[in-house]
Structure 1
Amino acid sequence: MQWNDFEEATTLDCEAHDTWEELEHAFETADQSTFEIDRHIYDHALSSTEPNRAAYLTPHSLYCNILEREGDKFILGRPTELYQRINVTEDMSRDHVVFYPDCYHARLWKRHDDDIDLALLFYWEKGGSRDTEPDGSSRVHYVEYGHGPWKSSLMTLDGEARDWTGFREVRKSQLVPRVPMEMRWYLTKLGVLDDAGINKLRPLTARWISY
């Protein structure tokens, strides 16, 4: 979400110029239990056979790993890993805020100082010619479909889950990518956004150079 839009939508108790500090405070002081989905609610959503059902992918947004072998245990990440501010301009007019569904995907989807990323940025994108100046500018692009396991998750503009109906039908409809249930859970619990604000969140891809 664009930062200016977030400042208008947030339910944090703050003045506009204090929004970033209050957002940081909300996550830094949050108890780990805030990010654990109520077991009854989680199981009910998972086992539901109703049309347009919306299920949680993980029972705890702080899980930063998956269980691969017998005896593996979940490891908890930090609440501060679940959000990110993309600094595009010095005056913050074009900044963006990103929330992640869980620490596992947060670590999977973002990285820095990656050699392959830099090769793609400075060589492949411009063809690798010696006399071509690479474009290292910041880019933020909101996309029409979700990422990863949420790529076919849809909702109405009011936040009601909808089943995937195929590209032709989706393109004709007013459906948008559904916000992961995990994000809806902890953002409301922390008082960061209400349902109306959460419904305005959209998936994006971004790159930016930080110094």
Structure 2
Amino acid sequence: MSSSFCTTMGWGMPWIAFEEAVTLDCETQDTWETLEHTFETANPSMFQIDPDLYDREYFSSEPNRAPYLTPHALYSNVREREEDTFILGLPTELYKRINVTEDGDEDHVVFYPDCYYARRWQRRDDDLDLALMFQWEKGGSRDTEPDGSARVQYVEYGLGPWKNSLMTLNGEACEWMNFRELRKRPDLVPRVPMELRWYLKKLGVLDDTGINKLRPLTARWISY
């Protein structure tokens, strides 16, 4: 049986917690199949942020604003020149299940803000990832057996452009503050990207309460 070494980061939660929070019309044992069907059949227009809402949030001068960083969650590229056009990715690129155990008890689900970051934030059998695990993490000695076990780690700060984005436990955006003060505020957590919040609600996958439970994570695992 062939296998691949996978790495990713994004916003997610344990699979069991997702099954409890999901708002899709399905039984627990059908959650994964229903999630797949929802994204596979979704109209691309559902991932376009309402233009008025996008402009209002993007150009707002109000404190604690929560702007969208892209007008369309399916955009898979950035425009480097004026004549460049945006290319749409697939809705199914926006989520992944991290399979840790055969029975799924320790699996996780991860979502990506848009297709651009979905492609940037996951790799399979990447030479650099393998080198870091085999030659750096354990010292690279011939006698050292590298640890190839799955690791899913939830982190205390955001990822990428959202690294300084904060929200309350109820999902309200909050301005960044210095680390000394931030360490005293367990009520503040990494803010979920607005693009992700938009399409998960639009597709009926999670409501605001469920989305507020998503946390940034980094993961590595062996996929068979």
**Bin of the TM-score, shorter chain as denominator length:** over 0.9
Q: Give SS of 2:110's match.
A: strand
Aligned equivalents of 2:223, 2:109: Cα separation in 1: 15
Look up the match of 1:165: 177
- The offset of 1:46, in angstroms, is 0.5
Aligned equivalents of 1:88, 1:8: Cα separation in 2: 19
- Match status 1:72 vs 2:92: no
Aligned partner (choices 15, 28, 34) of residue 16 of structure 1: 28
- The offset of 1:166, in angstroms, is 1.2
Unmatched runs of 5 consecutive residues or more in structure 2 = 1-12
- The offset of 1:149, in angstroms, is 0.3
Q: Report matched runs for 1:113-124 at 5 Å.
A: 113-124=125-136
What is the TM-score when the length of structure 1 is the normalising length? 0.99
Give the structure, 1 or 2, with the largest relative contact order (CA under 8 Å, sep 6 or more).
Answer: 2
Look up the match of 1:144: 156
Look up the match of 1:182: 195
- Per-residue CA shift, 1:121-169, capped at 9, x if unaligned? 1111000000000100000000000001000000000000000011111
Higher strand share: 2
Give 1:202's aligned amino acid: R
Look up the match of 1:201: 214
Give 1:209's aligned amino acid: I
- The offset of 1:70, in angstroms, is 2.6
Look up the match of 2:6: none
Q: Give SS of 1:131's match.
A: coil
- The offset of 1:189, in angstroms, is 0.4
State the superposition RMSD in angstroms: 0.5
- The offset of 1:175, in angstroms, is 0.2
What is the TM-score when the length of structure 2 is the normalising length? 0.93
- Per-residue CA shift, 1:52-101, capped at 9, x if unaligned? 00000000000000001231100000000000000000010000000000
The size of the alignment, in residue pairs, is 211
Aligned partner (choices 54, 65, 79) of residue 42 of structure 1: 54
Aligned equivalents of 1:169, 1:23: Cα separation in 2: 39
Aligned equivalents of 1:102, 1:191: Cα separation in 2: 17
- The offset of 1:170, in angstroms, is 1.1
Aligned equivalents of 2:190, 2:96: Cα separation in 1: 20
Q: Give SS of 1:111's match.
A: strand
